[in-house]
Amino acid sequence: MVVYAWSTPWVLCAMAIAVEGGALYGAQFVGGGADGDGNTTASLVRFDPTKSTWSKVMVFGTVPFSALAGLLATDTGTKWWLAAGESGQVGQNTLFYAASSTAKVVRLTTSVPLTSMEYVSAADEFLATWQEPGSNKHLLFGALDPYVAKENQMIDLTVNASIPWATFGSSCLDPASAAYTFIVGVESVAGGQFSLAQVAPNGHGIDVTLGKPCASGCTIQSVVASTNGIDGIIDSGDSAPPLLPIALTMLPQRHNATRGATYTYTWSEWDLKAGAPVRALGSWKSPLYNTFVTSAIGGGAIYAANAFGETSSVLRLELSTGTVASLPTAGLDGALMDLVYVE
């Protein structure tokens, strides 16, 4: 455990974000060379449960890459951000911002590629991680101005906490403790093991915890934050330690080329230090390998989508029953690279 001084307003933000509505949104990427120019168009889409269809809310813009990854964020469903760039890279430099779904989209550029980000409403800024490009570079953590994309990189996690690199995209912010949790790599190979890392304020500084890799040999696909009042998960006060994050894991870890092979995906409350599940919340089997890296939590459920392919499969885990069901994909034109649930 590593302790640092802390002066950002983040320490004052241990609260849940109360917002109107109750809707699932996604960042949809369409293109990738099918039109001959290699460009991809990124849009915001919304799922309408009454009609069981997805519809386009706005277009963020076009990026000149054929294989993309994205990070979607919002305040209360009014302001929207999307970090987008070429997948396979350590991070993304392009940050789209729109003051509303009808406002003009502003295209920003970060000086160091982003690997994860979470919006903090009370501070009106992002907490984020950045990965320096190139081999043997450092993973950084800090705050990001959401309107000019200026970084305040407060901690070098590689030097101070021996965290070598982070996977792109999956992170969460605990609404009770403001602990920031994200996925980091243990091996820089496809299908290699991953663990969770966490940066959390402690009242006089911050703690950095690097969790153990999955003890059962699974690979961690995604992570979401526990929320108050869902399935017996209750906030016990401002002084409470961080709630356990909820991790999505996949077994077996390695790709199986056997015809008909399937993989087991499981949502579980996760113990970082042990690298093991504490309580399984629900699971499903899929022939898709290493692909359900897009997730969101809200409305008593966790959502996951496979982010790779021309279109996405979207699954919903009902937390009260553990039941997993597929959502309709009518109205989707491309792959969902990230999901956000607005309460």
Contact criterion met (CB below 8 Å) for 113 and 133? yes
For position 166, what pLDDT does the model report? 73
For position 310, what pLDDT does the model report? 65
Q: Between residues 169 and 267, which one has the greater pLDDT?
A: 267
Contact criterion met (CB below 8 Å) for 248 and 294? no
Contact criterion met (CB below 8 Å) for 274 and 212? yes
Q: Token pair of 79, please?
A: 């302001």
Of 230-239, 255-264, 296-305, 310-319, the range with the lowest mean pLDDT is 230-239
Buried b (16+ CB within 10 A) or exposed e, 153-169: bbbebbeebebbbbbbb
Q: How far apart are CA 1 and CA 210, in angstroms?
A: 8
Q: Token pair of 175, please?
A: 């609404």
Of 45-54, 85-94, 194-203, 305-314, the range with the lowest mean pLDDT is 85-94
Q: Which string of DSSP letters, residue by residue, matches 146-182? A: TTT--EEEEEEHHHHH----EEEEEEEE-TTT--EEE
Contacts of 39 (CB under 8 A, 6+ apart): 31, 62, 63, 64, 65, 66
* Residue 325 reports pLDDT greater than 90: yes
Domains of the chain: 2-342 (2.120.10.30)
Question: Can you say whether the dihedral through the CA atoms of 333, 20, 14, 105 is positive or negative?
Answer: positive
Long-range contacts (CB closer than 8 Å, 24 or more residues apart) made by 92-95: 92/168, 94/63, 95/149
Q: Which amino acid, one-letter code, is at 37?
A: D
What mean pLDDT value characterizes the chain?
Answer: 81
CA 53 to chain centre: 23
* Residue 191 reports pLDDT greater than 90: no
Q: Between residues 168 and 150, which one has the greater pLDDT?
A: 150
Query: Residue 38 — pLDDT band, cuts 50, 70, 90?
Result: low
Q: Between residues 231 and 64, which one has the greater pLDDT?
A: 64
* Residue 204 reports pLDDT greater than 90: no
State pLDDT tens for residues 253-284. 888 889 999 999 999 999 999 999 999 999 99
Buried b (16+ CB within 10 A) or exposed e, 95-106: bbbbeebeeebe
* Residue 165 reports pLDDT greater than 80: no
Q: Which string of DSSP letters, residue by residue, matches 269-290? A: EEETTTTEEEEEEEEEEES--S
Q: Token pair of 15, please?
A: 């609260």
Query: Residue 240 — pLDDT band, cuts 50, 70, 90?
Result: low
Contact criterion met (CB below 8 Å) for 25 and 74? yes
Query: Residue 223 — pLDDT band, cuts 50, 70, 90?
Result: very high
Query: Residue 133 — pLDDT band, cuts 50, 70, 90?
Result: confident
Beta bridge partners of 263: 286
Return phi, psi of residue 87, to 5°.
-70, 160
> What does the pLDDT average to over 144-150?
95
Q: What is the DSSP letter of 211?
A: P
- pTM (2 decimals)? 0.86
Question: Can you say whether the dihedral through the CA atoms of 149, 204, 243, 141 is positive or negative?
Answer: positive
Q: Between residues 176 and 326, which one has the greater pLDDT?
A: 326
State pLDDT tens for residues 85-129. 665 555 578 899 999 999 999 999 888 888 899 999 889 999 999
Contact criterion met (CB below 8 Å) for 6 and 206? yes
Stated length of the chain: 343
Query: Residue 23 — pLDDT band, cuts 50, 70, 90?
Result: very high
* Residue 317 reports pLDDT greater than 50: yes
What's the CA angle centered on 67, arms 66 and 71, to 5 degrees?
A: 120
Q: Token pair of 78, please?
A: 């009014």
CA 203 to chain centre: 26
For position 120, what pLDDT does the model report? 92
For position 87, what pLDDT does the model report? 54
CB atoms inside a 10 Å sphere around CB 37: 11
Q: Between residues 136 and 245, which one has the greater pLDDT?
A: 245
Q: Which amino acid, one-letter code, is at 160?
A: N
Contact criterion met (CB below 8 Å) for 126 and 120? yes
* Residue 188 reports pLDDT greater than 50: no
Of 14-18, 54-58, 161-165, 196-200, the range with the lowest mean pLDDT is 14-18
For position 309, what pLDDT does the model report? 65
CA distances from residue 342 to 78, 171, 217 in whole angstroms, order as listed: 10, 17, 34
Q: How far apart are CA 46 and CA 69, in angstroms?
A: 18
For position 111, what pLDDT does the model report? 86
For position 64, what pLDDT does the model report? 72
